[in-house]
Every structure is written in C-alpha cells, then in structure tokens.
Structure 1
Amino acid sequence: MRSGLKVVAVAVLIVFAGCTGVNPLGGGDSASEPNDTAGTNTPESEGETDDLEISNETSPPGMAINNSVENVSALLASHHAELRSLESYRLIVDREQRNRRIFADISVDNRDEEYEGEEGGSRLYYTDGAVYTQTDDETVTDREVEFQRIHRGGTELIGILEGVNLTVENRTTIDDTPVVRYRVTGFDRTMLTNIQDLTGYVRIAPDGLVSEISLDVTGSSGETLKQHYAILGVNDTTVETPDWFEENQENRDTTQPQLTASFDFVEDGVTITHQGGESVSSLQVRYTAGGESVVETWDSERDITVGASYTTERAPDPGTEVRVIWSEGDQSAVLAEETAPE
C-alpha cells in the first residue's frame, strides 16, 4: 500500500529575481551540502571552435538569430521533448540560496521508467509508478507520481533566459552531441528586477536540449549566488536498484493505518485535526521552519482518534510541506500532508 509523500525539491529558484520554483518531483523541504561546489559537475567538452555561424536553420527552437531567447516556452518545450526522447541521462541541480544550498544528483532511465539518486540529504528511487524516499533517519516513504515529471526537474532556471542577452562563444561536443555555448552579456532589468548583476554561460544543442546553465546572480544586497543545472551522461547512464529499497520491500507489509486530516494554518503554527479513519497511538509531524527541518511528536494519553488535534510549535515556511507520519518498527508512511500557503 502506498502512502502519500512528495519527493524533496529539485526545482531551481532564482531568489533575487522573484521567481518561484515548483518542485516537479513532488515538493520537499530539506537542503544539503553537496560534495562539490556549485558548477563543478560540468559536462566534459571537446572540439572547441571559436568561430561559429548561427542561422535560422541551426538556431535552437525559441531562439532568434541574434542569440536572444524570443520564445522561452518553445525552448522549454523542445528541451522537455529531447529529455523524453533520450534513453538515459544524469540530472544535476546545484543552487545557492541566501542561507542554504539545494543539491540534486539523479540518474534517469527512460526505457525502464526508473530514476535513482539523492536530493537534499534524502535518497530517491522511482519504479513501478511510485517514487520512494529514504531520509537521514532511514525512514522510507513513497508516493505515486507520474514518471514524466522528472524531466521538468530544475528547468525553471531556463525561464530566466527570456530576459538575458546571450552571445555565441564557441561550439563544444558533449556526449558526442554538438552544443553551442552562449555567454551571458547582459539582461533586461525591467524583466529581472532585484538583480544587480548576472554572469555565466549556457550550453544549448541545435535541437533545443539545454545541456548546461551556469549563472552567478548578484542581488541588490551585493550577495552573489551560484545557480547550476546540467544534463550529463546522455544515453550512457544506468539506474541501479538501491539496497535500502530492497531491504524496505522485504520488511514492509500493508498494516499501516489510514486516516484523513485537516490543516488550519495560522500566523504562529498549523493545527492538524484527525477528521476520519483509524485511531493511532502516536504520530510525527514534520515541516520546515526558518529553513530548518523540524520534527515534532503528536502524542496523547489516549489514542489519537477522530476529532483530536495538534498544533505545531512553529509556523511552517511558506510553500513547504507539512507531513503527518506514522511509524512502527521498520515501517513508516505519510498519512496526510499539506502545503503551507505562500
């Protein structure tokens, strides 16, 4: 029996630009420090060519011959279509925010519709129509998710290119595919408000596959944050079933309780009320407050039955998930969840 869990966020958010990132994998709240610094997971290139003429015929979809992105929707559509057409690839998202860094490294196999990797300190595995997540405390939860959503992971960063001036720099070959490298030479301040400076480069194939975006974004405060997105290992990436998933499948059964709950968000917290279903003896409430992961225990002297309620000690961060989790022995499940309002 599958429980409700949204996978940790893989979306790219340009914090200074006022854009919002919607997690295509399902939403999540934790952050992690990657082993590498932002931008170090860069596609290997070869065959550099300084002089490259771009025509309307060779310009990627959505891009004008003057190298500007005139239709970001067309570029996004072609990028997503190319990702779906690949046999496999590796997705890297590494973005800095003011007080944390979000990192994801996920291997994707389109043939078997599987993916596996890590994000925000959690481990992910997708198979048979569901994504399974193991957190640092080795809790494993799962949720039914459409496989195709993985291709949108992190691509919100492409949206910023509509307001960016690009200049063709050279041509590289990545995974045996010719790719044009564009250098950022300026940006439209009327479109990208709150940005003081923006530098970096973008690699795009003629068919519209965006293989890499590497940007340094400086806000009005003068702080510079790195934003990195890359597609590696095209048609040469494998997905292995992780040991933690196999162990969980061996130990789990279908005895988890079922319940529904309501969430009442107020200024200093959220009140969760058991609205229907089975009684339970104890639950955990997990959410993010002040950028930190918070775990609280919902206990009562009696079983938690219909009508019982619990109020969190802190207010969840806007746009993050609040989850009610049941656990017993090696089993755990998300019984209810809700997103804090923006």
Structure 2
Amino acid sequence: MARREIPFLFIRGGTSRGPYFNAADLPSDRDAIAKILLQVVGAGHPLNIDGIGGGNAVTNKVAMLSRSADDAADIDYFFAQVSVLEQLVDFKPTCGNILSGVGPAAIEMGLMPASDPVTEVRIKLVNTGALVVARVQTPGGVVRYDGDTAIDGVPGTAARIDLQFMDVVGAATGKLLPTGNLRDQFDDIEVTCMDVAMPTVTARADAFGLSGHETVQELKADKNFMARMERVRLAAGAAMGMGDVTQSVTPKFAIFAPAKAGGTIAARYFMPWEPHPTMAVTGAQCLASCAMTPGSIADGLLTRPTTSPATVTIEHPSGMIDVVVDYNTGGNGFDLNSAGLVRTARKLASGNLFVSDEG
C-alpha cells in the first residue's frame, strides 16, 4: 500500500488545536483532501487513536494555507472541521481560534515574510470570504510564542496576537438577519438567527428551563435539552436558507443568560452536537453582535454599551472572552463595522504525517 508523507505544523490556535498544512502539499480536489484528513485525525474512534485528533471537536480542526491571489490579502486560509466519530469532513464553516495560528504558521512555512517587531498578515478566510488582519509578534523577524497574555481556556500565558475581523456580516448567508426577522420561533422556542462571522441561532437559556450557567458536563448529560436544541437548529437552518443542515456544523447554536461574574452577558455555545468547552472566536463575534442589537433575543439580559467601539465581555464555561465591536446605529439598530479579539497561539510540533494514498 502506497504511503504519502505530508509536512505539517501542529499548533494550538486560541482554545483549539490541529495540523496546519501548506495547501501545495495537498490535493486540490476536496474529496481527496477529505480522505487524507480523515486519516490524519483518525476519525471514527472516540479517542481518534489512529490519528492525531484529540477526541473532541476543538482538537479536530485543520488549517490549509497558501499565498493569496487576492490583492486585499496575503494568505488564504482554508479550514476543515473533521468529525470525531463519523467519516465526515465539513468545509462550510471557518474557525477563529485556529485562525489565531495562521499568521505564525504562514511565516514559519515561508509563505509570508516577517517584519520587526510586528508582522501584519492580511488573511482571507476561504470558507466564508471574510478578511481578517492579524498582528503577530515577530521581534528580529522571528515568530515569538512566549509572552504575558492569558486567554481563558488555555493555561499559562503566551505572545499576544491581535485579530481584526472585517466584512463579517452575512459571511455565510449574505444577510445580517438571514430570516429577515429579529426574532423567530421554532418548536415553541424564540430565537434570533444572525450571521456575523458564523451563522448562529441564539435562544434564552430560560426558554429551555436552564440557568445558562450550566457546566459543559451538565449540558451534555441533559439529553432532552440537546435533542430539542437540535430540532430548533434544524428548523432554523432551513429558515435561514441553509437547506438541510442535519450533517452540517452550521448554523451553530447558543443560549444567553444574564452575566454573573462581571461580564456583559453569559453564553453557552454548541459546535453544534456538543457544548463548546470555552467560546469560539467566530461565534463570539456573532453573539456580541446579537447582544448589541436592540430587539434581539438578548433584550432584558444585559445593559448595552452606548458608545462605539464597545467591549462586549461574554462569560463562558472556562472564563470570559472580550469582543471589541465597532458599530453604527442603523435600520436594525445595529450596523457592524468590524470586530476585534486578542488571542494567542503556540507551535507544539512539526514534521511529517503519514497517510495512505488509498484513503
């Protein structure tokens, strides 16, 4: 059986991790890429024992990088979400946490020259078409991973990476409000369907009889809630023009509750078939936008900032995440200009992965 060696970097990006590839080392056909990535991760086993996956959606993410042909970008970032248990690779969404490692990886791969002391990398998110500007610490023209910036969900500290997301409204559906409404109702649950960086369906926790401050383990164990949430998500996905989303990780789902630890609002985010242990970067932008929009499902759960840019602090199972929202007051009460976050990344390993040409 023919074997193939594929160079890779193994990087923690934000609160996720996975292999980063130079796209030139992979096939151009998505079906062929999917066959390779299923082997890389070891999909089909709860521990992903025959691959480098971590048995969790946040550790089964893949980044594929190339120089961009778009004059507005330096690097194209193509993302894939690989299933833990199923032979499934989803190319529809993107991942803002894995995005945190794209700038460092592009420099390490020689796809992007480094400056001193900071390198600004303009990144095109191939899956959604969005543009992000990443500022990577590169003193002396070398990527710096150590630093004093902490993010909740990751132990210790690392070098700061600033991400500024541009043109993220309607990234997947073309509309801020894909259904045309600030609120919809599915299975007797009222939700706001919004598309900012990641199409997300958001409900109030108390609509499900929850506090919104449950642990990941408590949410996973609540089979009735998880089943009802999925029914709402499927109906909302169809109403958002996304078709049958039974096997798609988008739209994502979230629940809101009043903050209790000094944040702006509390949220639990789903990937969507299990709770996120922290908070997705793309999801955080959509939730922050939803929280800031008058008339949305968030009404009555928070005191909205009144100046722009505003910092929206979202409480999640492992702590908090800050989203800096630059906005104007528009027809819907909210027009987003950009959203910024601070993340970190760390190179964990590099080398070659071995896969079969036969899949």
TM range (shorter): under 0.3
Q: What TM-score does the superposition give when structure 1 sets the normalisation length?
A: 0.26
Larger of the two Rg values belongs to structure: 1
Higher strand proportion (structure 1 or 2):
1
Q: Considering fraction of residues, name the structure with more helix.
A: 2
- TM-score of the two chains, using structure 2 as the length reference: 0.25
